[in-house]
């Protein structure tokens, strides 16, 4: 009965969350081509085992199937633990999911022992029937039993609904923290009304610190920096639920990207509680601030959040909050440095009379980073754009002359771009009557951009050169160019502003 209940709950919960089950199977090292069918076949096998365990006549075979599945789980968990990995087991779907560890291994071992006991009893003596006693019940007793089961089912459904409601609210709170970093009051607004995420200005000297590690050592920002490698500071808290959920990923990131990136957790609390979590999830660099002094220095308003630091000790990105956006920031960090949508333009000196390499104009005293141009103003001619499309053919902005065009700066690795993608596709399918043409200027690989599924013209700009020339500082952002090739709007930053710009007519601009 115990084995049957466990396998019924596990199988039903996995079927109710097949996307999560597919991800869990892939995280355990199963090839992606097999992960999708296994995510469906595994819960069906668990339900079949549960059904076989109930009648006494098939209980032995059910126990054999249960033992085979449990040994398979034990082997998978053991292999990953031996490799230092702790993927999310997703054993009971959305009802309960936690990183696989020694407790998971022990639980599966105990259930395997129970299945082994039933097998040891033999095919003819597997025990009394689980349902045989129902025949001895009177009509009143049977009705009372059914009523009790219905009541328990309703209570279970109520608790399941409340649990998912609380989890949904938790995810909303995390997303709101990220949105607040972009909203008025938490954003840094420029003179033309555009906004960027919170944190220190990109390019500013990163505040130094000297913090205690998990074993009493002192760790500094200087010690974390090394030539050619970015540093990603991840701000967490031992009492933060979303932080705890993200820790297994942080451990994997450290292992997978150690040659390109140094990841350090800046946490609160004592060494003991942080040490336990760090050891469980394989997290190496953990720095302990006494209160919020380092968070305040970097203008971090919530956890989990992250910021990038250059090898030279400069701030390389705004602060991004929430697991999804931190993953997007990581994707930029481990790719080509020039693909970072938040990387500031770098001032390059030029001799007197030579054109500036950033804007093409001649400046008698050269350019400094603080004097970098913000892009052409409304009414000025748009900069020239000549970039390869996904087929390798050169596309120029001049090709769009005669029609109002929105130049959209994009990156498939940008979390904000991916949140906007469904709305952008809907706009493409049914644009307003006065909508401009769309030219997407994107970083990333040809394959990654094809997977976006956009029908508009898309060109590749790995160095974010066009974005800097137009005065864009991040993705997604956009600017309107009128039919005569003049700038017709300020740079719009963020999905709402870009979509608003896409729906605005030329007359309104």
Query: Residue 444 maps to which CATH number?
Result: 3.40.30.10
pLDDT at 440 exceeding the cut of 80: yes
Q: Are residues 219 and 114 in the same domain?
A: no
Q: Identify the CA nearest to 456 among candidates 506, 412, 405.
A: 405
Q: Are residues 379 and 498 in the same domain?
A: yes
Question: Could you tell me the two tokens for 215?
Answer: 């074993």
Length, in residues, of the chain: 509
Q: Identify the CA nearest to 317 among candidates 399, 216, 201, 403.
A: 201
Q: Would you say residue 411 lies in a domain?
A: yes
Measured CA to CA, the distance from residue 178 to residue 9 in angstroms comes to 35
Q: Identify the CA nearest to 117 among candidates 174, 64, 68, 69.
A: 64
Could you give the angle at which helices 415-429 and 495-503 cross, rounded to 10 degrees?
20
Last residue of a domain, one of 131, 163, 181: 131
Q: Are residues 391 and 485 in the same domain?
A: yes
Q: Are residues 219 and 123 in the same domain?
A: no
Top pLDDT among 56 and 235 is at 235
Q: Are residues 8 and 90 in the same domain?
A: yes
Last residue of a domain, one of 83, 107, 131: 131
Measured CA to CA, the distance from residue 90 to residue 248 in angstroms comes to 13
Please report which confidence band the pLDDT of residue 475 belongs to, taking 50, 70 and 90 as the band edges. Answer: confident
**3-class secondary structure, 367:** coil
Q: Would you say residue 209 lies in a domain?
A: yes
Q: Would you say residue 163 lies in a domain?
A: no
Q: Would you say residue 166 lies in a domain?
A: no
Q: Are residues 383 and 310 in the same domain?
A: no
pLDDT at 342 exceeding the cut of 60: no
Range of the domain at 225: 196-335
Q: Are residues 32 and 92 in the same domain?
A: yes
Residues with Cβ within 8 Å of 414's Cβ and at least 6 positions away in sequence, in order, are: 328, 332, 341, 475, 476
Q: Are residues 445 and 331 in the same domain?
A: no
Q: Would you say residue 378 lies in a domain?
A: yes
Question: Could you tell me the two tokens for 16?
Answer: 């109710």
**3-class secondary structure, 398:** helix
Beta-bridged to residue 286, according to DSSP, are: 265
Q: Are residues 312 and 403 in the same domain?
A: no
Q: Would you say residue 231 lies in a domain?
A: yes
Q: Reduced to 3 DSSP states, what percent helix, strand and coil does the chain have, rounded to the nearest 5?
A: 45, 15, 40
Q: What percent of the chain has pLDDT over 70?
A: 78
Model confidence pLDDT, tens digit, residues 292-302: 889 889 988 77
Q: Are residues 109 and 212 in the same domain?
A: no
Q: Are residues 387 and 330 in the same domain?
A: no
Tokens 């400069």 belong to which residue?
A: 314
**Mean pLDDT over each residue of the chain, to the nearest integer:** 77
Residues 147-180, buried b or exposed e (16+ Cβ, 10 A)?
A: eeeeeeeeeeeeeeeeeeeeeeeeeeebeebbeb
Q: What percent of the chain has pLDDT over 90?
A: 11
Residues 105-115, buried b or exposed e (16+ Cβ, 10 A)?
A: bebbeebbebb
Number of H helices, E strands in the chain: 15, 16
Question: Could you tell me the two tokens for 176?
Answer: 């709101």
Q: What is the tally of structural domains in the chain?
A: 3
Beta-bridged to residue 462, according to DSSP, are: none
Q: How many Cα atoms sit within 13 Å of 362 on the Cβ side?
A: 5
Q: Would you say residue 327 lies in a domain?
A: yes
Q: State residue 277 phi and psi, 5-degree precision.
A: -70, -40
Q: Would you say residue 186 lies in a domain?
A: no
Which of these ranges, 36-45, 159-168, 249-258, has the smallest mean pLDDT? Answer: 159-168
Give the Cβ contact number of residue 284 at 10 Å: 16
Q: Are residues 234 and 284 in the same domain?
A: yes
Model confidence pLDDT, tens digit, residues 210-253: 888 887 778 888 888 888 788 999 998 877 777 888 888 888 88
Last residue of a domain, one of 85, 101, 131: 131
**3-class secondary structure, 287:** strand
pLDDT at 42 exceeding the cut of 70: yes
The CA distances from residue 461 to 12, 230, 390, 406, 445, in Å, are: 47, 22, 11, 16, 10
- Its pTM stands at 0.35
Largest Cα span, the chain: 103
pLDDT at 26 exceeding the cut of 80: no
């Amino acid at each position: 009965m115990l084995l049957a209940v466990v396998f019924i709950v596990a199988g039903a919960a996995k079927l109710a969350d097949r996307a999560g089950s597919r991800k869990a199977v892939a995280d355990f090292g199963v090839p992606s081509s097999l992960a999708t069918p296994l995510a469906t076949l595994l819960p069906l096998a668990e339900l079949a085992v549960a059904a076989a365990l109930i009648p006494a006549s098939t209980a032995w075979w059910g126990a054999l199937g249960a033992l085979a599945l449990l040994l398979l789980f034990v082997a998978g968990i053991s292999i990953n633990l031996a490799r230092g990995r702790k993927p999310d087991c997703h054993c009971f779907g959305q009802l309960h999911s936690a990183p696989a560890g020694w407790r998971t291994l022990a639980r599966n071992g105990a259930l395997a022992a129970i299945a082994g006991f039933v097998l040891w009893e033999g095919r003819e003596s597997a025990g009394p029937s689980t349902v045989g006693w129902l025949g001895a019940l009177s009509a009143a007793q049977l009705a009372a039993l059914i009523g009790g089961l219905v009541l328990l089912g309703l209570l279970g459904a109520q608790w399941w609904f409340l649990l998912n409601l609380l989890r949904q609210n938790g995810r909303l709170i995390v997303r709101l923290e990220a949105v607040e970093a972009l909203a008025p009051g938490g954003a840094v607004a420029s003179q033309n009304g555009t906004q960027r995420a919170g944190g220190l200005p990109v390019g500013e000297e990163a505040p130094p610190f000297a913090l205690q590690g998990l074993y009493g050592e002192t760790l500094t920002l200087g010690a974390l920096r090394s030539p050619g490698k970015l540093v990603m500071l991840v701000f967490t808290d031992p009492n933060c639920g979303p932080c705890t959920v993200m820790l297994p990923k942080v451990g994997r990131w450290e292992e997978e990207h150690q040659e390109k990136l140094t990841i350090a957790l800046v946490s609160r609390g004592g060494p003991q509680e942080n040490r336990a979590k760090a050891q469980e999830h394989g997290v190496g660099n953990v720095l302990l601030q006494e209160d919020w002094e380092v968070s305040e220095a970097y203008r971090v308003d919530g956890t989990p959040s992250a910021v990038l630091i250059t090898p030279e000790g400069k701030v390389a990105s705004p602060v991004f909050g929430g697991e999804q956006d931190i993953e997007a920031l990581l994707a930029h960090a481990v790719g080509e440095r020039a693909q970072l949508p938040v990387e500031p333009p770098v001032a390059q000196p030029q001799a007197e009379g030579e054109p500036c390499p950033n804007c093409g104009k001649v400046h008698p005293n050269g350019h400094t980073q603080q004097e970098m141009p913000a892009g052409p103003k409304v009414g000025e001619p748009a900069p020239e754009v000549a970039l390869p499309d996904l087929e390798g053919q050169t596309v120029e902005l001049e090709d769009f002359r005669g029609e109002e065009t929105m130049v959209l700066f994009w990156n498939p690795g940008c979390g904000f771009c991916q949140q906007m993608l469904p709305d952008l596709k809907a706009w493409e399918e049914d644009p307003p009557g006065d909508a401009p043409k769309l030219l997407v200027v994107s970083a990333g690989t040809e394959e990654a951009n094809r997977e976006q599924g956009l029908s508009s013209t898309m060109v590749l700009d790995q160095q974010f050169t066009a974005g800097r020339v137009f005065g864009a500082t991040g993705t997604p952002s956009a600017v309107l160019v009128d039919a005569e090739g003049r700038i017709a709007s300020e740079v719009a930053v963020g999905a709402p502003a870009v979509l608003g710009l896409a729906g605005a007519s030329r007359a309104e601009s």
